[in-house]
Amino acid sequence: MHIKSLVIDGFKSYGKRVELNNFDPEFNAITGLNGTGKSNILDAICFTLGISAMNTIRASTMQDVIYKSGQAGVHTATVTITFDNKDKSRSAPHYTHNDEIVISREVGMGSKNTYKINGLTVTAKKIMDFFNSLQMNVNNPHFIIMQGRITKVLNMKPIEILSMIEEAAGTNMYESKKRSLEMTVGKKDNKLKEMRDVADEEILPTMETIEKEKQMLEELNMVHGQLRILNEKLDNWNYVQLKKMVSQFSEDLKQLNVRKQKKEELIEDSKIQLKDMEKQIKEHEELLKINGGNNLNALKVKFEETEKEKDCVQLQVNGCKTNINIEVKKIKDLEKQINNSKKGYEAKKKEMEDFNEMNAGVEEENKKNTNDLDEIDKKIRSLNSGNIFGDEDNGSVQENINKYNLELQNQQTENQQCTIKIDGLKKKLNEHLSGMKEAKKTYDSQMAQLTAKEKEYEKIKDEYIKASEALNQHHNLKSSRDNLLRDIRNFSSKTESFESNNPALFFRYNDPRPNFDRRKVHGLICRLFTPIDFRFELALTTLAGGKLYFIVVEDDTVGKDILETNKFSNRMNFIPLSKIKSDSLPPHVIRTAQQIGGADQVFPAMSLIKYDKKHLKAIQWVFGQAFICTTKEIAEKVCFDNRVNRHCFTLEGDHFNPSGSLTGGANTQRLILQSIAKQDEISLELQAKKSEYEKVDNSCKAMHNLPEKVAQLKDRQITVQEELEKIQSDVHLGQPHQQVTEFNKINQQIVELESKLVEGKAHEKTLQKKIKDLENKMKNAENILKKQLSDAEKTRKNILEKIKRNKTEYDGKKNNYNKLELEIKDLTGQMQEEENQLVELNVEKKELEEKLLTLMSKLDKADEKCKEASKEYESQKEIAMQNSNKMQQNQYLYKRLTDEISTIKVNLAELSSEITKVNNGSLTAKEKFEKIDKRLPEEQKQMALKMDFINFKSEECNRSVNELQARYDQLAKVVDPGKLNNFHKHIQEYKRLQKKLETIVKDKIKINEIIEELEVKKRLHLQHASNRVNIEFGKIFSSVLPGAQARLKQTNLDDITAGLEICVAFNGLWKESLEELSGGQRSLVALSLVLAMLLFNPVPLYILDEVDAALDLSHTQNIGKMLKQHFKQSQFIVVSLKDGMFSNANVLFRTKFVDGSSAVTRTTCNQT
C-alpha cells in the first residue's frame, strides 16, 4: 500500500486547494525555496495520519495549522490522502476489498477534529488502529526521520543503541513474558507464606485447645444448677407481667377505635371541599380558553407580520446607509486627492515664494555689497588723503577723539547734577526723621490689624464656598432619594401583586420561639433552583410535581416546631436535610442513556438546573434519579432499556415510568419557574434600591443643617468684608501711612540716583581711556595708515567677487522659476476639476441622505407599529398567564387536598394496622399468659402474685441467664466427646498442607528455569537482529560512502545486553572514535544505522525531512542512489534542497509561493 495522491486545502501556507497527484510507489522528492511550504507537505501527511504530538507537525495549537490562523478568511484546514491498495498482500485488515483507501482529516477554528475513511466519519482511535495494523505506530513514528533524529543517534550511548535494536527486533515480548512469570513467582511466595502462617497460627493451637476440654466438665455442671434457679425467678416475674399486659391491651384498643372514627369523619369533610374546588378549576379553564388560544395566536401572528415589515424597511435603511458610506468614501478619497493637489500647489507656490524671497535677498545683498563698495572706496580716498581710522569706528581717529571729548563733557555734567539731587534729597529725608519713629509704629500696628482681618476674611470665604458646594450636593442627593423612593414603590407594587396572585409560591410562618434561627428554614423547593434553559421548564415541573411546594428545613426538629406553633389552612410537607437520603444517577447509567438517545438529546435532570450546594440533598431527592429527553421516542427507548430503567420526562411533559405506565403532558405549569425567576430579579433590584436609598437617606439626614450653616457663613462673610474695607480705608487715608510712604519714596529716589552716579563715574573713566588710546594712535600714524590702506584694498576685492558670484547664482535659478509657473498653472486647473467632482458627489450624497431620512421616518412608524403589536400581544399573554397561574394554584390546592385525603387514608390504614397489631399483641399476650398459667403449679402462681418485684431487675436477670446459657453452650461444645475425633482430622490436614508446600516450592523452581530459558531466547533473537542490522548497516554505509565500512560492536563480547557501539573504517583502518570523523561523515553513519533498522522490519511508507542538510553534494547523491537500491518494497517521500538527492527520485514536486499561498508543480524524472 502506498500514497497515490494528496489534497491540501487551508493547511498552513496552502491557503488554496492544492492537489499532488501520481505519487511514485517508491521514491518521491519535494524541493523548493525556504519558506515556500515544502516541509508543510510532510506536516500535512503526518496531520492526516493522526499524529497527536504537535511538535511533529511544527505547531503549538491546532489553530496554528489553519492558513494564517484563520485570519485570512480561511477557517478550516483539510488534508486528504488517497492510498493505492491494489497489493492485497500488504493491505490493512478489513480493507482488502478496496483498491483505494481515502483518509481525510479536517480541523476548524474551534479545534474540532473530523476524521474520515472512505467518506465515513471515524474516531481518532480508529485511524490509529488502521495504521498500527500496518506496523506504523503514529504515536511513536519511527517511519518519520527528521534531521534532529540523526543528531540524537550520534549522541547515543551503547545501551541506547541496543534499545533501538530491541525495539526493531520486537524482543519486548520476551520481557513481557518474563515480567509475567516473575509476578507468578511472587504470588507463589505469598501463597507459601500464607499456608505456613495457617499451620502455625490455626492448626497447632487448635490441637492444644482440645487437650484442655476435659478440665471444663465440672464447670458445666455448676452452670447448669445456677440456670435452673434463675429461670424459676423469671417465670414468676413473667406471669405477673403478662397478666398486667392483657389488661393494658384491652384499654389501648378502645382508644385506637375512637381515633379511627375521627379520621373517617375528616375524610368525608375533605371530599365535600374537593367538589367545590373542581367547580372553580372548570371556571378558570373557561377563562383561559377565552383569554388564550386562537386570540393569543392571532395577536402573535400580527406581531410577527409587523416585525417582518420593520425588518424589510430596516434592510432598505441599511442599503441606503451602505450607499451613503460608499459616497462618503468617494468624497473622502476625492478630498484627500484635492488635499494632495493643494499640498502640491502650496509646495510649488512655496518654491516660487522662496525664489522671490531669495531673489529679494540677492537684490538686498547686491545693494548692500554696492553700498559696502562705495563706503570702502570712500575710506580708500580718505586714507589716501592721510586720515587714520579707529579699530571700532568708521570715522577717522581725529573725528573719534573729538566725539569722545564731547561725550565726556556731557557725562561729567550729568554726574554733577546727580550729586546735587542726592544732597537735596538727603536733606529732605533728615527733615522727615523727627516724627518718623512714632508714625512707623502706628503704621505697623495698622498693617498687622489689616493682615489679620484679611486672613479671617479668606478663611470665612473658603468655608462658605465649601458649604455651598455641599449644599448643591445635598440638593442632588434629595433628588436621587426621591427617584429611588419612586422606584422602590414601583418594585414593591410588582412584588405585592405577584404575591397576591401566587400565594402558593410563598411560605409564611411565625417563629416557634424567641431568637429562632430562620436560616434553618430554606424555603419551597421551587424557589431553590433555576433551569439553565427555560425550554426544559415543563419537563422539570412535571418531574417534581407536588414536591415543588415541599418546604426544605435544616432538620426534623425545625419542621416539628413550626407545625406545633402555627396553624396552616393547608397541609404542609417538610423535607429535613438531616434525614432525607438522596443519590445521583451512576455515571455508567448516564453514559448508557446518552449512547441510546444521544448526548444532545438525553440529559440527567440534575445537569439542567442551577442551585446552591447546601441544597444538594433536597434537589437530588427531587431530581436525582430521572432523565429529560427531547422526544417521546427517545424517552421510551431510554426508560425501558434494562441497562437504564429510570423515569424519563419529555419537553412536552410526558412521563415514562419503568413500570410500564405513560402519563401525558400538561401546560398548566409552563410559566411557574419563569415567573419565579422574573420575581427574583425584581426582588434583587428592590433590595439593591432599598440599600442605596438607605445610604442616600443617611447622607441627606447628615446634611440637614447645611442651609442654616450656609446662611450663617454668608452673613459672617458680609460682616467681615465690611470690617476689612473700613480697616483698609483707615490705613490708606491716615497720616502715618502717608508719612511712611513719602519717607520710603525719598529713600528709593536716593538709591536710584546713587546707582546712576556710580554708572556715570564708570562711563567717565571708560571715555577717558578711549581718548588716551586714540591720542597714542596719532603718534604712530604713518604705519597705521599703510596697514589700513592695504586692508581696505583687500576688502574691496572681496566685495567685487561677492557681486559677481551672486549674479551667476541668480541667472541659474531664473530658469527654474519659469518651470514653476507652468506647473502651478496645471495644478490650478486640476484642482478646479476636482472641486467640481466634489460638488457633484456632495449632491448625490445629499439626495441619499434625504432618501435615508424618508426611510428612517418609515422605519420609525414600522417600529412604533411593531411595539404596539408586541405590547398588545404581551398584555394578552400576561392575562393568559395570570389565569393559568390562578388555575394552577387551584389545581395545586386540589392536589394538596387530594394528597391530604390520601395521607389521611394512609394514616387510617396505619391506624387499622396498629389496631390489628395491638389486637394481635393482646391475643399473643393472652396466649402466652394461658401457657404460663397452665405450666406453672398453683402454689408457684400464688407465690408469684405475693412476691415483691420492686427490686427485681429482669434485664440483669435475663443478662445473667444469657451469660450462663452462653457459658453452658460454650462448655457443652468444648467438652463434647465427639469433638475429640477432630484432633486426628487436624493432624491429617496439617500433613496435606505440608505436601502442598512442597508442590509450590517445586513450581517455583520450574518457573525460574522458564525465566532463564526466555532470557536465553531473548539474547539469541537479539543477536540475530543485531547481525542482520549489522549486515545492512555495512551495506548502506558503503553505498553512501564508497571505500568506507561500518559495523555495530558489542561492548562486552560475552554479553550483548551490555550495549552496542558504532565502529567505522576507512580503507580497512578502523577508527578509534567517531570524533575523528567530519560532521557530514558522522551524519552518514547515523542515517545509515537508522535506515538499516528500518529494513529489519519495513513499513509501507517512510518520510525524510532534510536529512541531507549537513552533507555535501556527493554524499547526498549517494543517499539518493542507496534509497533506490535498498528500499524497493517501501514508498519514500523525501524533502531536500539538494539536487543530488532529488535527481534520483522518480517523481519530483517543487513548491513555490504564489499570491501569498504555497503552490506545487510535479515533474517526472528519468527512471533507469
Predicted confidence (pLDDT) per residue in 460-479, tens digit: 888 888 888 887 788 788 87
Residue 29 shares a structural domain with residue 79: yes
Other CB atoms within a 10 A radius of the CB of residue 1022 amount to 19
Report the percentage of the chain scoring pLDDT > 90. Answer: 13
The answer, yes or no, to whether residue 151 has pLDDT greater than 80, is: no
Residue 753 lies in a domain: no
Residue 20 shares a structural domain with residue 130: yes
Residue 109 shares a structural domain with residue 21: yes
Question: What pLDDT is recorded for position 618?
Answer: 94
Kindly report the backbone phi and psi dihedral angles of residue 906, in degrees, each rounded to the nearest multiple of 5, phi listed first: -65, -45
Report the percentage of the chain scoring pLDDT > 70. Answer: 86
Residue 38 lies in a domain: yes
Q: CA nearest 24: which of 1130, 1140, 1158?
A: 1130
Beta-bridge partner residues of 1102: 1132
614-659: pLDDT as tens digits = 999 999 999 999 999 999 999 999 999 999 999 999 998 899 988 8
The answer, yes or no, to whether residue 326 has pLDDT greater than 70, is: yes
Rg, the chain, Cα only = 58
Question: What pLDDT is recorded for position 233?
Answer: 74
CA–CA separation, 1039 and 1123 (whole Å): 10
Mean pLDDT of 664-681: 70
Residue 964 shares a structural domain with residue 987: no
Residue 166 shares a structural domain with residue 133: no
Residue 182 lies in a domain: yes
Residue 149 shares a structural domain with residue 10: no
709-766: pLDDT as tens digits = 888 888 888 888 888 888 777 777 766 777 777 777 888 888 888 888 888 888 888 8
The answer, yes or no, to whether residue 1168 has pLDDT greater than 50, is: no
51's CB contacts (< 8 A; 6+ apart) are 57, 138, 139, 141
Residue 136 shares a structural domain with residue 8: yes
Residue 556 shares a structural domain with residue 647: yes
Question: What pLDDT is recorded for position 669?
Answer: 45
Mean pLDDT of 485-512: 83
More confident residue, 396 or 124: 124
788-834: pLDDT as tens digits = 677 777 777 787 777 777 777 666 666 666 677 777 777 787 778 87
Question: What pLDDT is recorded for position 83?
Answer: 93
The owner of cell 407481667 is 241
Domain end among 1080, 1098, 1116: 1098
Question: What pLDDT is recorded for position 92?
Answer: 81
Mean pLDDT of 127-137: 82
Question: What pLDDT is recorded for position 855?
Answer: 80
Find the domain containing 232 and state its range: 216-273+934-973
Which range of 26-35, 183-192, 288-297, 322-331 scores highest in mean pLDDT? It is 26-35
Residue 64 lies in a domain: yes
872-929: pLDDT as tens digits = 777 776 676 666 666 666 676 677 778 777 877 887 788 788 888 878 888 887 888 7
Question: What pLDDT is recorded for position 958?
Answer: 79
Q: SS3 string of 29-56?
A: EEEECCCCCHHHHHHHHHHHCCCCCCCC
Residue 65 shares a structural domain with residue 104: yes
Q: How many residues can be counted in the chain?
A: 1168
Which range of 40-54, 136-150, 520-534, 780-794 scores highest in mean pLDDT? It is 520-534
Mean of pLDDT over the chain: 80
**CB crowding 796-819: b at 16 or more within 10 Å, else e:** beebeeeeeebeeeeeeeeeeeee
Question: What pLDDT is recorded for position 810?
Answer: 66
Question: What pLDDT is recorded for position 394?
Answer: 53
- Tell me how many domains the chain contains: 4
More confident residue, 521 or 1067: 521
Residue 166 shares a structural domain with residue 268: no
Residue 1104 shares a structural domain with residue 1008: no
Residue 163 shares a structural domain with residue 189: yes
More confident residue, 1139 or 583: 583
Question: What pLDDT is recorded for position 206?
Answer: 67
Mean pLDDT of 558-577: 86
- Domain CATH code at residue 1153: 3.40.50.300
Q: How confident is the model at residue 393 (pLDDT cuts 50, 70, 90)?
A: very low
The answer, yes or no, to whether residue 281 has pLDDT greater than 80, is: no
> Coil, helix or strand for 504?
helix
Domain end among 670, 703, 718: 670
Question: What pLDDT is recorded for position 328?
Answer: 79
The answer, yes or no, to whether residue 406 has pLDDT greater than 90, is: no
Mean pLDDT of 323-339: 80
Mean pLDDT of 581-597: 91
CA–CA separation, 697 and 472 (whole Å): 16
Cα torsion 500, 501, 503, 505 to 10°: value is -130
Residue 1009 lies in a domain: yes
Question: What pLDDT is recorded for position 174?
Answer: 63
Q: CA nearest 194: which of 993, 991, 1002?
A: 993
1082-1112: pLDDT as tens digits = 778 877 877 887 777 777 888 888 777 767 6
Is the pTM higher than 0.85? The answer reads no
